């Protein structure tokens, strides 16, 4: 049995497959980026940072190879389970976004040949906020997994997601799972609106939004 154009299962399934493939391909890049951002906490000498990250685009390859050699190839995929939890984001975002577009078009602009920028703004920003609120803790968990956590004796800890979540809540409080949430919103909400406004406009010009 096929799916209709506005079937929520179609949006959810497409988002899930695309998100999973994206995570598999890009997890090593996120790993290196996070290590670069927190390197100062590991060694704050200027020479150490320049030695590792002053090679331009080659720094990415050098550090991926360094992690694989010292910690094992699978270490490049540390945090992947947390990233997969983040698949909740597109699963929530795209169905809500598409359903809002349909609702606004039907009830507010039934005679317009395309949805206005105002309703694209409302659809994209509302959907992004809800999806971010649901899935944001995975960002914190993923960053903690990328960064090597040590116990009081200096031994490396390798906590699972459940134990790591419990430790964060117990030691830092539940709100720690939303550390940086507002800063993240200030970045992603304008970006999402601009991206989808451009996308919808280009689809209209090319005729892709026509039945």
Q: How far apart are CA 135 and CA 126, in angstroms?
A: 14
Q: Give me the count of residues in the chain.
A: 211
| 84 or 51, greater pLDDT | 84
CB 52 within 8 A of CB 62: yes
- Report residue 136's pLDDT band, with 50, 70 and 90 as the boundaries: very high
Beta strands 156-157 and 149-150, pairing class: antiparallel
Give yes or no for residue 48 having a pLDDT over 70. Answer: no
Distance of CA 18 to the CA centre of its chain: 13
pLDDT tens sequence across 158-179: 778 888 899 999 999 999 999 9
Whether pTM > 0.85 for this model: the answer is no
Per-residue pLDDT averaged across 111-125, rounded? 91
pLDDT tens sequence across 177-186: 999 999 999 9
pLDDT of residue 95: 86
């Amino acid at each position: 049995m096929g799916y209709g154009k506005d079937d929520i299962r179609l949006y959810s399934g497409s988002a899930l497959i695309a998100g999973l493939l994206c995570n598999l391909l890009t997890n090593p890049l996120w790993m290196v980026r996070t290590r670069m951002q927190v390197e100062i906490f590991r060694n704050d000498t200027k020479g150490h940072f320049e030695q590792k990250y002053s090679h331009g685009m080659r720094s990415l390859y050098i550090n991926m190879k360094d992690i694989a050699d010292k910690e094992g190839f699978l270490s490049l995929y540390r945090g992947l389970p947390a990233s997969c939890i983040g698949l909740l984001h597109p699963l929530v975002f795209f169905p809500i976004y598409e359903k809002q577009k349909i609702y606004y078009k039907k009830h507010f602009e039934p005679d317009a040949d395309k949805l206005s920028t105002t309703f694209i703004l409302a659809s994209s920003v509302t959907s992004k906020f809800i999806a971010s609120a649901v899935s944001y803790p995975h960002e914190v968990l993923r960053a903690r997994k990328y960064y090597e956590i040590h116990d009081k004796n200096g031994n490396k800890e390798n906590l699972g997601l459940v134990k790591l979540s419990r430790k964060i809540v117990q030691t830092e409080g539940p709100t720690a799972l939303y550390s940086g949430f507002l800063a993240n919103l200030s970045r992603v909400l304008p970006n999402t609106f601009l991206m989808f406004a451009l996308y919808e406009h280009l689809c209209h010009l090319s005729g892709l939004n026509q039945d």
